[in-house]
Amino acid sequence: MRAGLIVCAAGLLASCESKPAEPSVPAPQPTTYSIGQGDVLHVEPKDICRARDPQFLSALTDRVRDALPVAAIPSFELHDFNVTDPTSDGDRTAVLRFYIAGDDGAPMMMTAYGPFTPENCAVGAMLAGPGPSTISFEDDDALRVP
């Protein structure tokens, strides 16, 4: 009887042993450069650039804010960030759209754009102006964003 209890206890211990951990499935890697307003609230970035560098968007928006008139800085609000598809030469353009308060206090959309290097998410010198697209303003009238 005692031997039966020992065998039974050994069986229970064996069933309690930890099982080998199942291989974890790696999180999917981001496949887009797009960042919308709601995306900044996600704990895990869903875009390539912030997955590589969590400070990417903050640094870029700081650059753009620094080029704005001082009165416009407090009203700055991100709309979105996108990267164009490559041209036939392989060139890509980063496009940041945002709102600032216009002269009448109403939100006014602005667009900043510049060359983009996908290998390191580098955004070169940008131009910024009023409107929802890069063709909304003349380069001569644009703000320069170093």
pLDDT of residue 24: 73
In which band, very low, low, confident or very high, does the pLDDT at 140 lie, cut at 50, 70 and 90?
A: confident
Mean pLDDT over all residues of the chain? 87
Who contacts 88 (Cβ-Cβ below 8 Å, separation ≥6)? none
pLDDT of residue 20: 61
Choose among 130, 107, 126: nearest CA to 115. 126
Task: Specify the pTM.
Answer: 0.80
Quick check: 7 pLDDT over 90?
A: no
pLDDT of residue 117: 97
User: How far, CA to CA in Å, does 12 sit from each of 2, 4, 15, 18?
Assistant: 15, 12, 5, 12
In which band, very low, low, confident or very high, does the pLDDT at 68 lie, cut at 50, 70 and 90?
A: very high
**17-67 pLDDT, tens digit each:** 556 666 677 767 888 999 999 998 888 899 999 999 999 999 999 999 999
pLDDT of residue 124: 98
